[in-house]
Amino acid sequence: MIYIDPCELNPYVLPTIDFVGGATEKLSFNTFFRKNKEPFSLSGCTAQFSVISFTNKNGEPIISKAMGTTSGNGNVLTVDLISSDTLEMCGKYIYQITIKDGSNNTEIPKQGLMYITNNIDKNFLRTS
């Protein structure tokens, strides 16, 4: 029997995202099968992008948005964060992508870290 210390597991394998709060961010994520690295077709799937505070991992998501897919091979998930989504945010966050197929089978490809730097001119974005 192999013992794996749960404290040593790293759930944050998705790319780290870093930007200033209030910036417009167009995020894209390629989906692949874990074993053979072949593209994973998202045909018939829905997906959700969610963000939670790193210091409140058991709380409610701060952001929760439906994701889209790109044309072509259909294995790219996209989400657009608009200025108001992150304007008041600053610090370290966790994001998660949840994918459901037509039969409600769910896949959650781990999580990623998001660092949002404080916007020093929030009033400019509020009045634009």
Domains of the chain: 10-127 (2.60.40.10)
- The model carries a pTM of 0.86
**What is the share, in percent, of the chain residues with pLDDT greater than 70?**
91
Residue pLDDT, tens place only, 98-126: 999 888 889 888 999 999 999 999 999 98
DSSP state of 8: G
Output the pLDDT for position 29. 93
Residue 73 has pLDDT above 70, yes or no: no
Residue type, 8: E
Reported as a single tens digit per residue, the pLDDT across 74-87 is 789 999 999 999 99
